[in-house]
Amino acid sequence: MAAVVERVGLAPMARTGRFTALVVVGQLGPRESVSRTLGGLGAREVVQAATVAEARQRSAAMGPRELCIVDVTLPDGSGLALLSDLRGRGWQRGIALSCLEDPYTVRAALTAGARCFLVSGRASTPSAPAPTGSLREQLSGREVEVLQHVANGRSNKEIGVSLGLSALTVKSHLARIARKLGTGDRAEMVMLSMRAGVVS
């Protein structure tokens, strides 16, 4: 594995201290490898999960929520959405793991709250189907505007104010976009639309 980018701003964990970690990787081999590495680095507890559902269940029962390492693609959904959810539930440090080396995935991971992005040499199963046909042809002009605001990190309310729409109308646009892209996760929407050159 190689570190691609790290976001600074949080105090480092004490090098001599023990920490709690959650490892969410769909494939058993890589999941156990990451867990062994964390054990060697001083983790007092490493909890493993293979799916989004399993990770949510196991993380709720854990004590100190210090470090989570999440594969961006999981068998039952988006690792990026899970990472964002875990950050919202009090996990202090999130690391995104991916076999993809493109900047759009990195940006989506950082948008989801990852502190660090790691690239592995393995292939993983995509969590969302790739949209068919040209994405520009599938999306209306208004949907592209909404997506650009999402890419800029704005909330539904902020998007509504900027475009003269209600938050409910913005939510409806996002629901239609989600159907067209095959994912309702905001970070993945941004990643897919950036790859297609729809937003910048």
pLDDT at 131 over 60: no
Summarize pLDDT for 6-38 with one digit per residue, the tens.
444 444 444 445 889 999 999 888 899 899 988
Domain CATH code at residue 67: 3.40.50.2300
- Domain contains 128: no
Domain CATH code at residue 153: 1.10.10.10
Q: Are residues 42 and 92 in the same domain?
A: yes
Q: Are residues 142 and 184 in the same domain?
A: yes
Q: Are residues 18 and 110 in the same domain?
A: yes
pLDDT at 99 over 90: no
DSSP E strand boundaries for the chain: 2-6, 19-24, 43-49, 67-71, 73-74, 77-78, 93-98, 116-119
pLDDT at 100 over 50: yes
- Domain contains 125: no
Cβ-contact 190, 107 below 8 angstroms = yes
Going by pLDDT thresholds of 50, 70 and 90, the confidence category of residue 67 is: very high
Q: Are residues 80 and 115 in the same domain?
A: yes
Domain carrying residue 45: 2-119
Of the ranges 46-55, 119-128, 131-140, 188-197, the best mean pLDDT one: 46-55
Q: Are residues 23 and 62 in the same domain?
A: yes
- Domain contains 157: yes
Give pLDDT, residue 17.
Answer: 57
Least confident range of 73-77, 84-88, 101-105: 101-105
Task: Kindly give the pairing relationship between strand 67-71 and strand 93-98.
Answer: parallel
Q: What type of residue sits at position 160?
A: G
pLDDT at 140 over 50: yes
- Domain contains 34: yes
* Number of domain units in the chain: 2
Q: Are residues 18 and 81 in the same domain?
A: yes
Bin 166: left if φ > 0, else alpha if -120 < ψ < 50, else beta: beta
More confident residue, 79 or 100: 79
Going by pLDDT thresholds of 50, 70 and 90, the confidence category of residue 158 is: very high
pLDDT at 123 over 70: no
